[in-house]
Structure 1
Amino acid sequence: MNTNSAQAKKPPAKHKERVIMGLQAMDFIQHGTEASLEIVTPLGQRLNFKANFIGFDDQQHIFFTMPRLAKNEYEEFFMQGFNVDIEGISEQGEGALVRFRTRIEHVVYRPIQLLVFPVPQQAKLVLLRNEVRYELRLPGDIQMSNRKLRVILTDVSSAGCGFSFDAISPEFDVDTKIVLEVINSTNGDTYALSGAVKNCRKKRGKQNYGMVFDEPGKANCRRLLSNLIYDGTKYVFKSPKKDQSPGT
């Protein structure tokens, strides 16, 4: 190993982090949003799965949906008192990961299946975005092997964007290279937002993805942003200017 070159490299930039009270953390996770959970047994065994955040009550209980797992996994991991690490994505403000540790308080199988945890004393909020992100709802297409997938561009910044589509559609793996094509219907201009998928979550029956742009994608994004205007609730394409020249 070349120690000189290793020392010359700058350490990666740290994400902005802050600690918040546990009950306050619940306000950062939208109801129905998918989160990542990891059960840790006293022997150090771990089980990772996804579950939807249902909400919390005035007695400081947190409720999550039950994942579909093998019977032996329920018997081995879903025991009262086992620690659980939970990570959810907050879409408020600059966007953040909400991370905290709690424990299994109740496992409800009937009449409906629920996981119940106590609200943690504190949680960690890890800010994800260093740039302004614009909320919008623009249709776009991603070219698949045999067809175009219609998606909705939900937000965009100079470095990346978010998009969503119906959950029954195909799923993209993290780091998959894609091109999200947006067309301005008023003038036909096309913006090819190219880059790689970085995260995925399911929310209210839809797949929600985040992607980071490559250099051509960033250039096309700058073109896109220069042609958007805020309409009071979201960003939309600017209306074409009317010809002011006198008629002949």
Structure 2
Amino acid sequence: MSSPSTNNAAYFELMPGKALDIQFSHPVNLRIKTSLIGYEVGKYIILKHPEPTRMQSYKDVLVEGNVAIVRYILEGTQGQCCAFKSSIKHVVKHPQKLIFLEFPQKIENRELRLHQRFVTHLPANILSIAEVDNDRTKISGIISDISAKGCGFSFKSDNAKLKVNKTAVNIQVSLGNNKNIEIPAHVCNSRYEQGKIFVGIQFQDAEQQVKQILEHLLIDNDF
């Protein structure tokens, strides 16, 4: 499940806007969600300074020299959780609040998925289970990757606060010639990133349907 640590900067080939989780242990234990602004390999990483809340101003932890653990998800055929230790180089307030981190010397990574995922760009729909007057709620989007056990689904949205409920659904895929496949599934998570909502979906006993889809895409598989 785990792969060895690496010095390869390829594990930080991220686009601006990528969601990051930062954990501090001094002077208090604190985890902060923020996003990537940019970076220069080997020198620094620039992060968006999180907005203070009524409960936390972050002024005690977001200071030069403080050490943090940074985590993020690297999507791909296997999916990986990456993490590294760094320290704050500088915090600027003008023209906007930004955090500069030391670029990591080593990035740890581990695979998240037991089943191989195949990268696709397959139009599909999320359909609600409940029917009211035969009118089912439908979300149209793209299956970006698929395996025997689940898929990644995305659709465009201007609403950064939009979430897809964790509930039972059907995933509808068209194979052409008016032939549709519906896969029973469950929404596991959703997140907003760069104008899109990304949805993690787990299939319910759908191995045969997934094989049909992969055969339609001319992808060899061996489940």
Q: Which residue of 1 aligns with 2:20?
A: 35
SS in 2 for 1:25: helix
1:134 pairs, out of 107, 113, 118, with 118
Deviations along 1:94-116, one digit per CA (max 9) or x if unpaired, are 32111112122222221022221
Aligned to 2:173: 182
Indicate the residue corresponding to 2:208 in structure 1.
219
State how far apart, in whole Å, the 2-side matches of 1:40 and 1:87 are: 14
Q: Structure 1 residue 67: deviation in Å?
A: 2.4
For 1:191 and 1:68, locate their aligned partners in 2 and report how far apart those are by CA, in whole Å.
Answer: 44
Counterpart secondary structure, 2:124: strand
Pairing of 1:194-213 with structure 2 (within 5 A): 194-213=184-203
The answer on whether the counterparts of 2:23 and 2:29 sit within 8 Å (CA) in structure 1 is no
Equivalent position of 1:20 in the other structure:
6
CA contact (8 A) 1:94 1:132 kept: yes
Is 1:77 matched up with 2:61? yes
Identify if the C-alpha distance between structure 1 residues 157 and 64 changes in structure 2 by more than 3 Å, giving closer, same or farther.
same
RMSD over equivalenced CA pairs, Å: 2.7
- Whichever of the two has the greater Rg, that structure is 1
| Cα distance in 2 for residues equivalent to 1:69 and 1:214 | 41
Report the alpha carbon displacement of residue 24 of structure 1 after superposing the two structures with TM. Answer: 4.7
* Distance verdict in 2 for CA 1:180–1:69, change over 3 Å: farther
Change in CA separation of 1:200 and 1:85 when aligned onto 2, cut-off 3 Å: farther
Cα deviation digits, residues 5-56 of structure 1 (max 9, x gap): xxxxxxxxxx2232012745323x34432222223323x421332x222332
Native 8 Å contact 2:41 2:103 kept in 1: no
**Could you give the per-residue CA deviations for residues 118-169 of structure 1, whole angstroms, max 9, x where no partner exists?**
0122121111233332222222222357731112111112221111112346
Describe the superposition over 1:174-200 as per-residue Cα deviations: whole angstroms up to 9, x where unpaired.
x5433221123x222222233333444
Per-residue deviation, 1:92: 4.2
Cα separation, partners in 2 of 1:92 and 1:134, compared to 1, 3 Å: closer
In the TM superposition, 1:95-244 aligns within 5 A as 95-144=79-128, 147-168=137-158, 170-172=162-164, 176-184=167-175, 186-215=176-205, 217-229=206-218
Q: Structure 1 residues 200 and 109, CA, compared in 2 at 3 Å: closer, same or farther? A: farther
Please, which runs of 5 or more residues in structure 1 have no aligned partner? 1-14, 236-248
Richer in helix (by share): 1
1:63 maps to 46
Contact 1:37 1:87 (C-alpha < 8 Å) held by counterparts: yes
% same residue? 23
Query: Residue in 2 aligned with 1:94?
Result: 78
Flag structure 2 segments of 5+ consecutive residues without an equivalent.
Answer: 131-135
| Matched pairs, number | 211
Check 1:176–1:101 CA distance in 2 against 1; reply closer, same or farther (3 A cut). Answer: farther
For residues 83 and 201 of structure 1, the distance between their equivalents in structure 2, rounded to whole angstroms, comes to: 27
Equivalent AA in structure 2 for residue 129 of structure 1: R
Look up the equivalent residue of 1:35 and give its one-letter code.
Answer: L
SS in 1 for 2:3: strand
In 2, are the aligned partners of 1:164 and 1:206 still within 8 Å (CA)? yes
Q: TM-score, normalised by structure 1?
A: 0.73
Corresponding residue of 1:241: none
Q: CA deviation at 1:93?
A: 5.0
Give the Cα separation in 2 of the matches to 1:47 and 1:90: 19
